[in-house]
Chain A
Amino acid sequence: MNLQGPLWRFTGVRPVAWTFFAFLYIPILVLVALSFNAGQSATLWQGFSFKWYGVVANDPEILRAAKNSLIVAVCATLISTCLATLAALGMHGRRFRGQGALQGVLGLPLLVPDIVCAVAILMFFAFIGLKLSLLTILIAHVVFCTPFAYLPIRARLQGMDPRLLEAAADLYASPWRAFWRISFPLLLPGILSGAMLAFIISMDDFVITYFVAGAGSTTLPVYIFSSIRMGISPKINAISSIMLVLSILFVTLSYYLGQRKR
């Protein structure tokens, strides 16, 4: 339906929308611009330079935090995507009694505010006497990444033609063989986007990590937070811009790939 005519122009809608986009993007643009500042001040412009990116690249503390973040994100992505794929396959099919409750538990990490999740998991580790370390961060990340990985896989499964699997069974394919030859290739885009979501969510998490991180197991967001606490600086501008630009590139790439497939 054509919604273009003058009758459809609601007064004031366009300026509000453009204000919205400006509000959303100006802070990001300002941050990235200030990361190229040559001077010592975080906000006072003193000329263009890549100086602070050099400082970041040679800071052993930042590099260690980045390495921790990557280790946790890669492991959490692999584990949570496997768990989510299995769960999605199990949830698919005729509804059984109690499925609603299981579904609720799978979605629970999305509902619980992250500060609540953080302190609950922290107290649990204290209760069972597990020492805080990179492992405790990984466990917490798997918990909140699983529903993010689950949703796209489940959506993909629901869009799959059930007759394909019936046909495979009619042709005497074992369930195992049918999975690898039929379900898996069809599910792959869902699994990949689930894994990508899990990776980004894990890389970005601050609140939960902050609570369950032991001494010496700093991740990048925790490092940034502690540095901000000590005062804003052009070094934080640079490392923050790197994180921003990397996530935006990542999302843009997946958007572009998704558009091309159509």
Chain B
Amino acid sequence: MSTPRQLAERRQLLRRLGLIAPGMAMLAVFLVAPLAIMLLVSFLQPGEYGGVKWGEYSAEAYISFFYERDFDDNLVFNTDYLGIFQRSFWLAVATTVGCLLIGFPTALYLALQSEKKRNLLLFLVTVPFWTNLLVRVYAWMLLLRNGGLVDGALGVFGVPEGSVGLLYSSGAVMIGLLYSFLPFMVLPIYTSLEKLDWRLVEAAFDLGANRWQALKRVILPLALPGMLAGATLVFIPALGNYIIPELLGGGKALMIGNLVQLQFGSGHNWPLGAALAFSLFSLVLLALLFNGLRQRGQEVRA
């Protein structure tokens, strides 16, 4: 028999679940179920004009990451897609490293300002986050195109106009990625520096450490959690980005996101698109899992 108290607690729990239910149902039906269907579609045969043949299973989509079929239906090793994976990966890594190199000094600068100035600067870091990414990437098209501002500025130094070809290259994509995701690196590093006990640094100075030693031995290790969080926040969206390579790469610097889109547009190969999207999603889950395990490990050690 349940006591009245248990009954009351159960009623309370049911009421709470009832409050959560509508939002949960929305996400379960329109996000969790779609992700499951995406996994299913990745194992189906493509339809002739887009769509899929429901009920005809194959692992063809995953095989075609690495191989293509020649006229005799033999599998031939194909590096086209691998090249795109590789480019996506290295661009995302380079973006993350670049964001760290610029983001850490910026966050340190912010942390050392007076409170009033700090709040204003922090606000300035967050503003671009609320403005349209598409529009900000478009601004870079204006800057980088032949005859644009950067080209004109180079002209002042004697580089003939239009000779560099800045827009539509991996370099342009890299600039765009760096530009879009830098705030994601600055904010978490700043958060960990803000919590830092600056008396530790002072103690290091008192014990004769110079600035570089204090930075290396005290500040950097304590800012590490923020740097890792920032790296995850930059790497994941950079890896799967669609807009930036589409507009700044102009088809010359395709990344996974563009490859996915192509399968649903002119490519008419939904299973391949689904398989690519699912692989991207798994990579994200792996990165998060790694981060979660590392955090748990730290808690155990602490």
**Chain A residues proximal to chain B, CB less than 8 Å:** 1, 3-4, 7-8, 10-14, 16-17, 19-21, 23-28, 30-31, 34, 42-44, 82-84, 86-87, 89-91, 93, 96, 102, 105-106, 108-109, 111-117, 119-124, 126-127, 139-140, 142-143, 146, 150, 175, 200, 203-204, 206-207, 211, 221, 224-225, 228, 232, 236-237, 240, 243-244, 247-248, 250-252, 255, 259
Contacts and interface: CB of A to CB of B under 8 A. Distances in A.
A255 B127 CA distance: 10
B198 interface: yes
B108 interface: yes
B66 interface: no
Nearest to B42: A123
Interface in B229-283: 236-237, 239-243, 247, 257, 260-261, 264, 270, 273-274, 277-278, 280-281
B284 A247 contact: no
Contacts of B28: 105
B198 A31 contact: no
A204 B144 CA distance: 23
B27 interface: yes
A243 B19 CA distance: 36
Nearest to B219: A10
A90 B18 contact: yes
Contacts of B49: none
A109 to B, nearest CB: 6
A127 B37 contact: yes
Given A143-B26, A243-B132, A28 B139 contact: yes
A179 to B, nearest CB: 10
B20 A102 contact: yes
Contacts of B119: 259
A237 B275 CA distance: 37
A119 B123 CA distance: 34
A21 B109 CA distance: 12
B212 to A, nearest CB: 9
Contacts of B134: 204, 206, 221, 224-225
B53 interface: no
A28 B141 contact: no
A247 B130 contact: yes
Given A108-B27, A206-B243, A221-B134, 14 more contacts: A13-B106, A24-B128, A28-B131, A30-B139, A84-B23, A90-B15, A90-B19, A109-B31, A116-B240, A116-B278, A146-B26, A225-B243, A228-B247, A243-B135
A16 B109 contact: yes
B149 A221 contact: no
